[in-house]
Amino acid sequence: MASQAKTTKTHGKKRTCLMCRKTFLSEWPGERICPQCKRKHSWREGDSWLPGGRSA
């Protein structure tokens, strides 16, 4: 019987939030806003969230 190699899947990567600039554990490559910032009114309503009121 051939032995099977154990595969370990990593569960996230540390990234910097684009809103607050704090480090958080991102669960997928496109996740760039931390969970705390996603709960903010400005994120949920689509308001300008960049410093200085600039939009993306």
Collect all residues with Cβ–Cβ distance below 8 Å to 47 and sequence separation of at least 6: 41
53 or 17, greater pLDDT: 17
> Does the residue 40 lie in any domain?
yes
- The C-alpha atoms of residue 21 and residue 33 are separated, in whole angstroms, by 9
| pLDDT tops 60 at residue 20 | yes
39 located within any domain: yes
Domain containing 32 equals 13-46
Q: What b/e string do you get for 9-25 counting C-beta neighbours within 10 Å, with b at 16 or more?
A: eeeeeebebebeeeebe
Number of domains in the chain: 1
For residue 53, what pLDDT is reported?
55
Asked if pLDDT for residue 9 goes beyond 80, the answer is: no
User: Residue 34: exposed, middle, or buried by beta-carbon count in 10 A (0-12, 13-18, 19+)?
Assistant: buried
Mean pLDDT of 39-51: 76
- Residue 22 domain-assigned (yes or no): yes
